[in-house]
Amino acid sequence: MGSEANSGVVVVGGGVVGLTTAVVLAERGVRVRLWTRDPVGRTTSAVAGALWWPYRIDPRESARAWALRSLEVYEELALRPEATGVRMVEGVLGETPMDEADSWAAARLPGLRPVTEAEYPGGWGLWARLPLLDMAAHLPYLRERLTAAGGAVETRAVADLAEADAPVVVNCTGLAARELVPDPSVRPVRGQLVVVENPGIRTWMVTTGADGSMAYFFPQPGRLVLGGTAEEDAWSARPDPGTAEAIVRRCAALRPEIADARVLEHRVGLRPARDAVRLERTRLPDGRVLVHNYGHGGAGVTVAWGCARRAAELATG
């Protein structure tokens, strides 16, 4: 570990990527302060579904490696679901070929297999047991783990990354990197969700229709999360009633009991998309170390631990 890291690191960004990166650094003995504009419960990550599987993220080979490293952590955290918010849950990955999974995931997911007609009537895809995260529990867990390791969380807005008063700054600002870096290649991919009372569904499902429309449902403690949308370059954080009705209709076509479930909440999140994740070490104008860790799109949860470990290596190397 270099002398710069001994003097402390500021991680900017309090979503799942920033929190996980801060945890990895703090548990390696680095003095860490996490600067977050929004409380944990109001970050984009708080809206996430959140199923482990690489989704809309490049570079593909690196993303799969980061995902597998993250899987190891989530499998361990799933042994304590009440504390960590992580559970291993079975479900259907619709329209996903087995030969694609064979190339990278099958060896690590022994239960992975083609779906049966009973599991996914009229469709094709994979049956898998994957980590499913309850972000309402997981984000506070990460924050508590950070503070237990000696890290500090400070709520503050940042207009310039150079404001961070540490020899090493780690940029995990997601969509805000568009202005802060600035990096105009970062763009929003809008996702809308409907949260309903769970009518007794215990498995999850992710599908893509012939017209490209998405439908998915994730059973979370006390609720069922329905989705979704992937609207590129859409900035509105206001739920659209017509979109919500369409989401419920698509999910009810998969499981009819969803049609009568009572709606609890509407949510919108803006995924921080980029042509490829930016995970690299560079310099601030004054020469201090700056590590970028952003552009994860809809796969922040999936790759969080793999990217965090790499970012920590870059920050302390």
Distance CA 79, CA 65 (A): 23
Give me the pLDDT at residue 32, please: 98
Distance CA 65, CA 317 (A): 21
Distance CA 145, CA 181 (A): 29
> What is the pTM (predicted TM-score) of this model?
0.95
- Please, which residues bridge with residue 133 across strands? 86
178-187: pLDDT as tens digits = 999 999 999 9
79-100: pLDDT as tens digits = 999 999 999 999 999 999 999 8
- Boundaries of domain holding 55: 3-89+133-186+275-316
Distance CA 161, CA 289 (A): 11
- The CATH number that applies at residue 158 is 3.40.50.720
Residue 76 CB partners (closer than 8 Å, separation 6+): none
Q: Answer yes or no: is pLDDT of 128 > 80.
A: yes
Is 82 within the bounds of a domain? yes
Q: Answer yes or no: is pLDDT of 1 > 70.
A: no
Distance CA 129, CA 109 (A): 7
**Stretch among 97-111, 253-267, 288-302 having the lowest mean pLDDT:** 97-111
Is 261 within the bounds of a domain? no
Better pLDDT: 46 or 124: 124
Start-to-end CA distance of the chain, whole Å, equals: 6
- Please, which residues bridge with residue 278 across strands? 294
Give me the pLDDT at residue 45, please: 81
Identify the band that residue 257 occupies on the pLDDT scale cut at 50, 70 and 90. Answer: very high
40-68: pLDDT as tens digits = 767 778 777 899 999 889 999 999 999 99
Give me the pLDDT at residue 92, please: 98
Residue 63 CB partners (closer than 8 Å, separation 6+): 54, 57, 277, 299, 302, 303
Give me the pLDDT at residue 305, please: 98
Is 103 within the bounds of a domain? no
Q: How far is CA 314 from CA 21, 25, 45, 170, 282, in A?
A: 11, 11, 24, 9, 9
Helices (H), the chain: 3-6, 16-27, 60-77, 81-84, 98-102, 135-148, 177-180, 241-254, 300-316
Q: Mean of the pLDDT values across residues 139-162?
A: 97
Q: Answer yes or no: is pLDDT of 2 > 50.
A: no
Contact 206, 216 (CB under 8 A): yes
Give me the pLDDT at residue 39, please: 81
Q: How far is CA 45 from CA 20, 69, 155, 315, in A?
A: 12, 19, 16, 23
Is 84 within the bounds of a domain? yes
Q: Domain tally for the chain?
A: 1
Q: Is the peptide bond before 8 cis (omega within 30 degrees of 0)?
A: no
Amino acid at 73: V
Give me the pLDDT at residue 127, please: 98
Tokens 């992975």 correspond to 112
Is 145 within the bounds of a domain? yes
| Burial (Cβ within 10 Å: 0-12, 13-18, ≥19) of residue 122 | exposed
Contact 166, 156 (CB under 8 A): no
Q: Mean of the pLDDT values across residues 253-272?
A: 97
Q: Answer yes or no: is pLDDT of 4 > 90.
A: no
Is 71 within the bounds of a domain? yes
298-315: pLDDT as tens digits = 999 999 999 999 999 999
State the sign of the Cα–Cα–Cα–Cα dihedral 255, 257, 259, 263: negative
189-241: pLDDT as tens digits = 999 999 999 999 999 999 998 898 999 999 999 999 999 999 999 999 999 99
Distance CA 311, CA 103 (A): 26
Q: Answer yes or no: is pLDDT of 297 > 50.
A: yes
Is 300 within the bounds of a domain? yes
Contact 264, 288 (CB under 8 A): no
Is 294 within the bounds of a domain? yes
Q: How many CA atoms lie within 13 A of 271 on its CB side?
A: 26
Identify the band that residue 7 occupies on the pLDDT scale cut at 50, 70 and 90. Answer: low
